[in-house]
Amino acid sequence: MTQNPPPFAPRGEALLHFRKWLRHGRSVAALTPSGQALSAASVRRVSAEYPQTIVELGAGTGAVTRAAAARMHPDSRLLAIESDVDFARMLEQTVPRAEVLCASAMSLQAILAAREVTRVDVILNGLPTPSLPQPQRDTVYQAIADLPGQPWVSQLTVMPWVFWRFYRRFFEEVHFEAAWRNLPPAGVYHCRGLRPLR
């Protein structure tokens, strides 16, 4: 049975997130943590019915991580990758079901190999992918392309519909789910089937 997720973005988390945004700007991707509507949309491909391996990139303070942990099957595995040490410490304290890794998403291949992860079912991507330099974006996408099967990539955005053509350029299958009740309005691109990188 799927549990209801705990409250999202407690005051301390929102304050930490805002301080990081002021310091690092676009690399943090959003002014505030994901709201409950956006987090729920982000984990739509996480199943409570069967075990999965779920990888989150750019987990931040853990709003989406908590939603995934609350929704996933008891035998699922959730790896939350976050490069900011303060965010990673908070994740360890607030989401005990997640394996929190303080590392760069650019090291995704090495991270999965070190943990003997050979299959990933869902990737929750909180990175500002359209804003990443092309070499970094290609590194992440190549690591995903090298995985067996076709994992769903659920990409958060705070600019609904704007990047539809961008993701269609990279994926065979793209579905957009709006989260209008998020502040600011946001959404998720659910993508699958990475095209060959040129």
The domain limits of the chain are 11-194
In whole angstroms, give the CA distance from residue 99 to residue 115: 11
The beta strand positions in the chain, using DSSP E, are: 53-57, 77-82, 99-102, 122-125, 152-157, 171-179, 186-194
**Predicted local distance difference test score (pLDDT) of residue 87:** 86
Tell me the one-letter amino acid at 15: L
Q: What is the pLDDT of residues 150-187, one digit of tens each?
A: 899 999 998 889 999 999 999 999 999 999 988 788 99
pLDDT the model gives residue 188: 97
Strand 186-194, strand 152-157: pairing: antiparallel
Residue 3 has pLDDT above 60, yes or no: no
Over residues 58-113, the pLDDT tens digits come to 998 899 999 999 999 999 999 999 998 888 998 999 999 999 999 999 999 999 99
Is the CATH code 3.40.50.150 the one for domain 11-194?
A: yes
pLDDT at 117 over 50: yes
Least confident among 7-21, 56-70, 132-146:
7-21
Whether 140 has a pLDDT exceeding 50, the answer reads yes
14 pLDDT band, cuts 50/70/90, is low
DSSP state of 27: G
Give me the pLDDT at residue 182, please: 85
Average pLDDT, the chain: 86
Indicate the pLDDT class of residue 19, thresholds 50, 70 and 90: low
